[in-house]
Amino acid sequence: MMSAISTALNRVIPKNILFRNPYLGALVITFVSFLFLITYEPLNTHPSLSFSYEATMAIYCFGGGISAFLAISLLHFFNFFSGKKTWILKKELIAIAMVLFGFATGIYLIGFIMETPANRLNMTVYLDSLLKSSLVAGVPIVLTTVMNLKFVFYPEKEESQEFHISERPSIKVDKITIEGNQKKDQFDVNPDDIVYIESNGNYIDIYWNNEGILKKKTLRCALKKINEQLNQYTFFLQVHRAFIVNLRMVENKKGNSLGYQLKVFHSSNEVPVSRQNVPVFDEQMIEVAQD
């Protein structure tokens, strides 16, 4: 039984759409919660002394929405949620708990403005507010999660494919100068020697092939700026928000439509391909193989 639960918790699923973007997530949670409250008036909700029921619920939802925005933004701060590793059900459930707690805490704090503060300074009121607010905000969050639960019960089979880079002819391109944010942040390299590029906060790490040895060069720069400098070369593709890969250096891919993990030339690290980039990666790998 415990083994089955552990397996389910570690199933790869698509990331909840509400957790991908703090602005979109907070807006949807706020709007759907407000509509739910004014339509059904659940859980003995009532207007404040100063406002109508609709205005009261709008103010509460706005406060909860701000807290939900902060909670979703916090998810992007922690590497556990925002790193290159795949999104699994366990992460989804922890993220749901964090966002619901944030929303409910915002509702509780707004209550000090909307109602008599002295009546709210006890644990019973706090827990009641936490429960009811979580039930309301849970409607849009749980619904969007349920849409992805099919991947828990019917997981996609992983595939693996080898790419024989040793059989690809070398191409002749001139060296280029990759420029960072400062004049001293420059790197002269043959584009075909670049294996992959990884974003690391305010810096990027360029991994390149130096006569069969993988080397690393760090520049202070945003990945977007590097991508713009390399967009003239069709064999480069940004496969993840933090990675650009030289498709000619990919040796193996494994995964499914939810994302790939790439093995690249002379590297023990795997490069992730995010779900939305799987189709374009497959398409461009076909073109690279035909070059």
**Tens of pLDDT, residues 142-155:** 999 998 888 888 77
Which CA distances in Å does 137 have to 129, 236, 284, 285?
Answer: 12, 42, 41, 42
Residue 135 gets which letter from DSSP? H
pLDDT given at position 167: 57
pLDDT given at position 183: 75
Spatial neighbors of 83 by CB under 8 A, at least 6 apart, are: none
Residue 71 clears pLDDT 90, i.e. is over it: yes
Least confident piece of the model among 81-90, 178-187, 247-256: 81-90
pLDDT given at position 154: 77
pLDDT band of residue 121 (cuts 50, 70, 90) is confident
Helix axes 2-9, 89-114, angle to 10 degrees: 80
Domains of the chain with CATH codes: 2-153 (no CATH), 162-290 (2.40.50.1020)
Beta bridge partners of 194: 208
CA 178 to chain centre: 28
Which one has a higher pLDDT value, 135 or 162?
135
Task: Describe the strand order of the beta sheet including 194-200 as a list of residue ranges.
Answer: 213-220, 203-210, 194-200, 243-246, 236-240
pLDDT band of residue 170 (cuts 50, 70, 90) is low
- Can you tell me the mean pLDDT for 63-87? 86
Q: Which long-range contacts (CB under 8 A, 24 or more apart) does 152-159 make?
A: 152/8, 152/11, 152/13, 152/89, 155/11, 155/12, 156/256, 156/257, 156/258, 157/256, 158/254, 158/255, 158/256, 159/254, 159/255, 159/256
Beta bridge partners of 206: 197, 217
State what percent of residues in the chain have pLDDT above 90: 49
Rounded to whole angstroms, how far apart are CA atoms 30 and 19? 14
The letter for the amino acid at 41 is E
pLDDT given at position 43: 86
Do the Cβ atoms of 271 and 252 come closer than 8 Å? no
pLDDT band of residue 120 (cuts 50, 70, 90) is confident
pLDDT band of residue 249 (cuts 50, 70, 90) is very high
pLDDT band of residue 247 (cuts 50, 70, 90) is very high
Residue 242 gets which letter from DSSP? T
pLDDT band of residue 19 (cuts 50, 70, 90) is very high
Rounded to whole angstroms, how far apart are CA atoms 286 and 180? 32
Residue 290 clears pLDDT 80, i.e. is over it: no
Which CA distances in Å does 107 have to 40, 99, 115?
Answer: 18, 12, 12
**Tens of pLDDT, residues 180-231:** 888 778 889 999 899 999 998 889 999 999 888 899 999 999 999 999 999 8
